[in-house]
Amino acid sequence: MERIALGATAAIDKTKKRLTFPEARHEVTFERQEDMPAFGSVIYSFVTAEDPYQERTGEEITKLYTAGTFPDNSRWPIGAVTSKCWQGEYSNAAEVLEDIR
């Protein structure tokens, strides 16, 4: 995926971002919950075989996500899970897994 980059950190919590758009990188710390929107984008990419808003620039995507505007995923069975990730309704991946089950 061209817009999503994996960080090199191996720490478990309160670390630098591990999964983010390269354009959004900066030196601050984040809680695990703040990784959930990126995780939602990963799920979306697996299901659709394309990146969310792949035709847009990283800056445009950041503005859309900041405004709470996400791709339509209503036609996918896992769309509700992806939406909850994007909306910050999960605090960790275990909650995501519970909804998937």
> 93, 85 in Cβ contact below 8 A?
no
Task: Write out the chain's pLDDT in tens, 101 residues.
Answer: 444 444 433 344 444 444 555 545 555 444 566 678 888 988 999 988 988 888 888 889 889 988 989 999 899 889 999 999 999 999 888 899 899 88
User: What pLDDT is stored for residue 99 in this prediction?
Assistant: 92
3 state DSSP class of 53: coil
- Kindly report, residue by residue over 50-77, the tens digit of the pLDDT: 888 888 888 898 899 889 899 998 998 8
User: What pLDDT is stored for residue 9 in this prediction?
Assistant: 37
What does each C-alpha distance from 15 to 20, 74, 89 come to in angstroms? 13, 33, 20
- Please give the share of the chain, as a percent, with pLDDT higher than 90: 19
User: What pLDDT is stored for residue 35 in this prediction?
Assistant: 78
